[in-house]
Amino acid sequence: MSSVSHAPHADDGGATASTERGPRHWAVTANTMLGHLVAVPAALLVLAEVAILAAGIVGRYVFRSPIVWSDELAGILFLWLAMLGSVIAFQRGEHMRMTAIVGVLSAQVRAFLDVVAAAASLAFLLLVVWPAYEFAADEAFVTTPALEIINTWRAAALPIGIGLMLIAAALRLCRIANLRSLLASLAIVAGLILAFVLLAPVFKPLGNLNLLIFFVFVVGAMVFAAVPIAFAFGLATVGYLTLTTSTPDVVMIGRMDEGMSHLILLAVPLFVFLGLLIEMTGMARAMVGFLASLLGHVRGGLHYVLVGAMYLVSGISGSKAADMAAVAPVLFPEMRQRGAKPGDLVALLAATGAQTETIPPSLVLITIGSVTGVSISALFTGGLLPGVVLAVMLGAIVWWRYRREDLSHVKRATGREIGRAFVIALPAIALPFVIRTAVVEGVATATEVSTIGILYSACAGLLIYRQFDWRRIYPMLVETASLSGAILLIIGAATGMAWALTQSGFSASLAKFMTSLPGGVPVFLAVTIVTFVILGSVLEGIPAIVLFGPLLFPIARQVGVHDVHYAMVVVLAMGIGLFAPPFGVGYYAACAISRINPDDGMRPIVGYMIALLIGTLIVAAVPWLSIGFLK
């Protein structure tokens, strides 16, 4: 997902636990100390990455003297940032997981399943901590080409990060569980693992049937039980490799390292930080204010503004959570005053989240480029028009629903007021164009360009908008590390799973099935849309892309679908699943940001989702919308 939405663990170990004595009080204190120990270096790593990439741009473009070691150092620090961020995300309960099923259960059952999920995460970490150490030790025989240091300096991030998560997991269990639930959850997890170990002789002769057992039933059971997705993927993959193959566990760590070490993914934390920065500096508010002055007097006008504002803000931040958090607080109070119902507000907010999934610099597009080899620049170019098509479809629904809205009490903005709002918003509106121009003209790579956006936004906040709260920088850096760590750990675990699927021959079987579908390209695209709507609702965007992108994109090429066109269809379909209730976690993120009950938006969102589906079908049927402006 470019949507980086998450469903936090329920954590009852806060103020209540801190007032108790004994193990729980000790666990809270130790967890706080661990948080400070990890958060400070993680925040410094985010700043270091910005500085290193900015120095690389200046050295290459200004002084015509490239810094040959900048990318290598950035890559080393990036793995450390990913692992420390994963530790912070674990402490905060911010690793992505699906809570739609457990959410309908009683509070007591939910609390117990939360303990079971923590125990399952602990089991995975225990199983991989030693292989991670072995992997890091083996990297001592590898020397980096530019800095000429042993690669263990980079690879050590894996065992240290996993070890710190182990401590965090143990502390979490002490905080959220009483003795009975703790023992019961540990017994359940240990018993299930022991049962699978004893059944190993049964699994080995089953061949590819094991794929169904481990990657459908086991993963499905853990995901629906609200085990964090990264740990569900990892535990199932380790079980599959250990019990059904002769592959050593260290290979899983190698695949995780490979998945998390693509330098292009460094754009993830930097664009997350950029999204937080534009909200803090008031740039998002300025853009929304200008759009409101243009359309505020039109029936449904602020709803159109919401659609347009999400399009513009998505072109800056790349993070759906940041987009919605920047726009909703600005528009919703005025929309409520005009009589808009809360359910319709959150429904449209969620729908615009799906609509803007292809707007550059979407994190999902960056992820697709990193795992499939498709040009990031081409994806950025191809994503603009599909977003417009879906915006038009949503606008049609808004027009129908608000065609009789009473605006007799609304004052139309004067030309002078519109002009003033435009001048104020101009620096903010220019940012997406600055980012795109920097990539197209070769000033910066898709990874580096986020640093230009960060420096631009900081200067705009300090010099133009005069809204720059230095006290918020450190929390923003820590939040960036946490969200990035949650995303990157999923990518690492899903890369290991995808490798296991490929080695099993599943990819060849899938390719054979997809290429044998009757009806050619139209049927292939239709099956893709259905598949990714389902995957988007269950796995969220980025895990689904990492897991199935490397398998399906080569098949799309075989049947004659352009890579960029196929990427747009995949991302739009996945976005519909991600933001469609009852399973789409993006919808619940929109509800949380809006502070609106999810039940209120269930009915209004149906029309918007139908509009998005029609728009996706139009994009699938007209390839020019995705590839018409490619060079």
Which residues are CB-contacts of 312 (< 8 A; sequence separation ≥ 6)?
A: 287, 291, 429, 432
147 burial (CB, 10 Å; 0-12 / 13-18 / 19+) is middle
- Can you give the pLDDT at residue 21? 54
CA trace torsion 598, 13, 99, 566 (10° rounding): 100
Long-range pairs for 98-102: beta carbons < 8 A, 24 or more residues apart = 98/7, 98/223, 98/224, 98/226, 98/229, 98/538, 98/540, 98/583, 98/585, 99/7, 99/226, 99/585, 99/588, 100/582, 100/583, 100/585, 100/588, 101/224, 101/225, 101/226, 102/224, 102/225, 102/226
Q: In this structure, what token pair is assigned to residue 619? A: 């994009």
Please state the pTM of the whole predicted model: 0.78
Instruction: Please state the domain extents for the chain.
Output: 15-263, 266-339+382-469
Report, as ranges of residue numbers, the positions in the chain whose pLDDT lies below 70: 1-23, 98-100, 315-319, 321-322, 326, 406-410, 440, 446, 507-508, 511, 538-541, 543, 582-583, 585, 592, 631
Cα(184)–Cα(192) distance, integer angstroms: 12
